[in-house]
């Protein structure tokens, strides 16, 4: 059984956050970019598509939807708003590609446009870009390990005519970087130990990250050797990678960490590469909603583990279980409310500090600083509350409730 097979047998915790973002962001991208495209056509390229569905878990009749099913569901939803989301799926493993065709035949509406391309995304990229033509394109790259070589990602995908709307969503495997980075720190001790297999692995990462620069970056960042330093070094490599992509292509980026459990180091970074100013604001809305779902997912796992433990240790008491469930639900609501109040306080304090230096803040331009540490967690509703609180204290002018908040400017009262 391969790592792939294990992956698709159970919807992993990390997939909850990834899929939460995928349910939310592509429809927004398509709605925004499709307003000016021919026939409302927008293209979504899923370069590492998988079999379409996970294997059923427990007593489930069908498994959780994979990224392709989420995409065709989004396509069905936004068709109501005259957006034609054409999905292109590429999958290398023949058995998964076949399964994907079956899942889509069963579940995609008859009027949806989609293609399933077999084989390596590197070999099918030209064809996919030809299908995309002049339409806005959102490319999702979600391999297990390394994704498209850097040159292909930056020159072919991000190198599309700058008049065309293009975004790339890359799920960067940090755990892979820190595990493979371990080969270099080991290699430094005794270069004789480097096997040809390790060299091939290192070269694959070099191709993906755009050179072997990351080896020095990783080694330097790992120097302390403290627990967790490899995970932090992988994040340093990711930060430098994003900086290089920006310098080479002009694409800025916004990243959301994906963890197996709260307080664990991030295993993946879901990175959106974009040009348009509205993108990070909307992506943050998606990340915040997905993060709320992810917290709820863990709460339910913790609760079911707790109930299972009680059943083992104490005589069954179903009435007691109902009580425990309703108490934990109330507690969860209280914890969420407390978290959200904290975010509102942080955002209000960020706005106050920024308005001590300047008289006005354009939200779309400054939203990353406005959210600060709450980026990816808080969203517009929290920003609205923070603004209203600051208005109530007389510090800023009132917001315009008839306009989109992201297009507004917060002005200090003098």
Ligand X SMILES: C[S@@+](CC[C@H](N)C(=O)[O-])C[C@H]1O[C@@H](n2cnc3c(N)ncnc32)[C@H](O)[C@@H]1O
Under the criterion CB under 6 A, does residue 67 sit at the interface with ligand X?
Answer: yes
* Residue nearer to ligand X on the CB measure, 48 or 343: 48
DSSP 399: P
Binding-site size for ligand X (CB under 6 A) equals 16
* Residue nearer to ligand X on the CB measure, 4 or 236: 4
Which residues, other chains included, contact 326 with Cβ-Cβ below 8 Å and sequence gap of 6+? none
* Residue nearer to ligand X on the CB measure, 45 or 49: 49
Which neighbouring-strand residues pair with 396? Answer: 412
Stretch that binds ligand X, among 43-51, 153-161, 208-216, 402-410 (CB under 6 A): 43-51
Burial tier of 345 (Cβ tally within 10 Å: 0-12, 13-18, 19+) = middle
Residue list 78-97, contact with ligand X (CB under 6 A): 90-93, 96
CB of 73 to ligand X, least distance (A): 13
* Residue nearer to ligand X on the CB measure, 86 or 124: 124
Determine the Cα–Cα distance for residues 316 and 67; give it in Å rounded to an integer.
40
Residues shown for the chain: 414
CB of 4 to ligand X, least distance (A): 5
Residue 118, phi then psi, degrees to nearest 5: -80, 150
Cβ-contact 412, 396 below 8 angstroms: yes
Under the criterion CB under 6 A, does residue 66 sit at the interface with ligand X?
Answer: yes
Stretch that binds ligand X, among 24-32, 42-50, 202-210, 273-281 (CB under 6 A): 42-50
Determine the Cα–Cα distance for residues 122 and 118; give it in Å rounded to an integer.
11
CB of 409 to ligand X, least distance (A): 38
Residue list 95-124, contact with ligand X (CB under 6 A): 96, 120-121
DSSP 59: T
Under the criterion CB under 6 A, does residue 63 sit at the interface with ligand X?
Answer: no
Under the criterion CB under 6 A, does residue 12 sit at the interface with ligand X?
Answer: no
Which residues, other chains included, contact 221 with Cβ-Cβ below 8 Å and sequence gap of 6+? 229, 232, 233, 236, 237
Q: Which of 32, 144, 244, 293 is the binder for ligand X (CB under 6 A)?
A: 144
* Residue nearer to ligand X on the CB measure, 54 or 281: 54
Which tokens go with 13?
A: 């915790």
CB of 275 to ligand X, least distance (A): 24
* Residue nearer to ligand X on the CB measure, 19 or 385: 19
* Residue nearer to ligand X on the CB measure, 152 or 363: 152
Under the criterion CB under 6 A, does residue 48 sit at the interface with ligand X?
Answer: yes
Helix 318-357 / helix 278-313 crossing angle, nearest 10 deg:
150
Residue that has been written with the tokens 């899923």 in this structure? 46
CB of 52 to ligand X, least distance (A): 7
Under the criterion CB under 6 A, does residue 4 sit at the interface with ligand X?
Answer: yes
Q: Which of 84, 142, 167, 340 is the binder for ligand X (CB under 6 A)?
A: 142
Which neighbouring-strand residues pair with 118? Answer: 91
Under the criterion CB under 6 A, does residue 20 sit at the interface with ligand X?
Answer: no
Stretch that binds ligand X, among 136-144, 181-189, 345-353, 371-379 (CB under 6 A): 136-144
Which neighbouring-strand residues pair with 362? Answer: 409
Which tokens go with 319?
A: 């009435």
Element (H, E) at 411: strand 409-411
Which residues, other chains included, contact 87 with Cβ-Cβ below 8 Å and sequence gap of 6+? 43, 44, 45, 46, 68, 71, 72, 75, 112, 113, 114, 115
Under the criterion CB under 6 A, does residue 57 sit at the interface with ligand X?
Answer: no
Judged by the rule CB under 6 A, the positions of this chain that interact with ligand X are: 4, 48-50, 66-67, 90-93, 96, 120-121, 142-144
């Amino acid at each position: 059984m391969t790592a792939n097979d294990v992956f698709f047998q159970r919807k992993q915790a990390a997939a909850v956050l990834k899929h939460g973002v995928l349910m939310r962001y592509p429809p927004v991208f398509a709605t925004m970019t499709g307003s000016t495209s021919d026939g409302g056509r927008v293209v979504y390229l899923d370069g590492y598509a998988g079999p379409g569905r996970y294997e059923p878990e427990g007593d489930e009749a069908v498994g959780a939807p994979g990224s392709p099913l989420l995409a065709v569901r989004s396509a069905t939803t936004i068709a109501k708003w005259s957006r034609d989301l054409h999905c292109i799926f590429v999958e290398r493993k023949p058995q998964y590609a076949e399964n994907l065709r079956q899942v889509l035949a069963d579940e995609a509406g008859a009027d949806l446009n989609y293609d399933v391309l077999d084989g390596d995304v590197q070999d099918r990229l030209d064809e996919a870009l030809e299908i995309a033509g002049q339409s806005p394109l959102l490319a999702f790259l979600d391999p297990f390990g390394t994704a498209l070589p850097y040159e292909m990602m930056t020159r072919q995908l991000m190198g599309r005519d700058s008049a065309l709307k293009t975004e790339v969503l890359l799920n960067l495997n940090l755990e892979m970087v820190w595990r493979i980075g371990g080969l270099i720190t080991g290699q430094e001790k005794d270069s004789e130990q480097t096997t040809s297999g390790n060299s091939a692995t290192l070269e694959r990462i070099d191709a993906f990250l755009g050179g072997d620069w990351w080896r020095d970056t990783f080694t330097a960042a790992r120097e302390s050797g403290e627990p967790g330093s490899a995970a932090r070094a992988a994040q340093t490599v990711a930060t430098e990678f994003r900086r290089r992509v920006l310098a080479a292509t002009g694409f800025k980026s916004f990243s959301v960490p994906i963890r197996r459990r709260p307080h664990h180091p991030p295993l993946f970074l879901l990175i959106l590469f974009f040009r348009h100013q509205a993108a990070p604001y909307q992506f943050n809305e998606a990340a915040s909603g997905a993060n709320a779902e992810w917290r709820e997912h863990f709460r339910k796992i913790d609760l079911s583990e707790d109930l299972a433990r009680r059943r083992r240790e104490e005589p069954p008491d179903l009435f007691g279980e109902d009580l425990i469930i309703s108490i934990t639900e109330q507690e969860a609501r209280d914890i969420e409310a407390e978290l959200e109040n904290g975010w509102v306080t942080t955002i209000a304090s960020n706005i106050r500090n920024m308005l001590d230096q300047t008289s006005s803040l354009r939200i779309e331009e400054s939203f990353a600083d406005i959210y600060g540490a709450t980026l990816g967690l808080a969203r517009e509703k929290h920003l609205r509350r923070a603004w209203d609180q600051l208005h109530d204290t007389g510090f800023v002018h009132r917001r315009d409730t008839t306009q989109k908040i992201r297009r507004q400017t917060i002005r200090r009262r003098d």
